[in-house]
């Protein structure tokens, strides 16, 4: 059985950490691209969900549903390469 080598462990850990960070960055970039390309479809889906929730709750929770809908739009559009919902994307070299 080999002994624990802290230096080797640190090297392997850094490689795994770098790889994980790269994958996370790639996933965020892909999500950002999808939101930018499909923002209108996402907004339409969020509105359908909001409307259905209001219908099912028979108006009892409309204010809370509206707040959740608005918060969801804000969070999703943070991934948008544009400046926000309904606004054109910012070119990559302009930001």
pLDDT one-digit tens code per residue, 25-57 = 999 889 888 888 888 899 999 999 999 999 999
Indicate left, alpha or beta for 80 from its phi (over 0: left) and psi (-120 to 50: alpha).
beta
Is 50 strand, coil or helix?
Answer: helix
Is it the case that residue 94 has pLDDT exceeding 50? no
Residue from 42, 25, 27, 26 nearest 77 by CA: 42
Other CB atoms within 10 Å distance of the CB of residue 77:
19
Alpha-carbon gap, residue 14 to 79, rounded angstroms: 27
Provide the pLDDT confidence category of residue 2 given band limits of 50, 70 and 90. confident
């Amino acid at each position: 059985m080999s002994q624990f080598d802290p230096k080797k462990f640190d090297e392997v850990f850094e490689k795994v950490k770098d790889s994980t960070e790269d994958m996370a960055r790639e996933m965020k970039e892909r999500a950002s691209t999808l939101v930018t390309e499909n923002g209108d479809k996402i907004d339409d889906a969020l509105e359908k969900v909001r409307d259905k929730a209001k219908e099912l709750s028979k108006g009892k929770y409309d204010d809370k549903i509206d707040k959740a809908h608005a918060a969801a739009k804000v969070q999703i559009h943070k991934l948008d390469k544009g400046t926000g919902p309904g606004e054109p994307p910012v070119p990559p070299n302009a930001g």
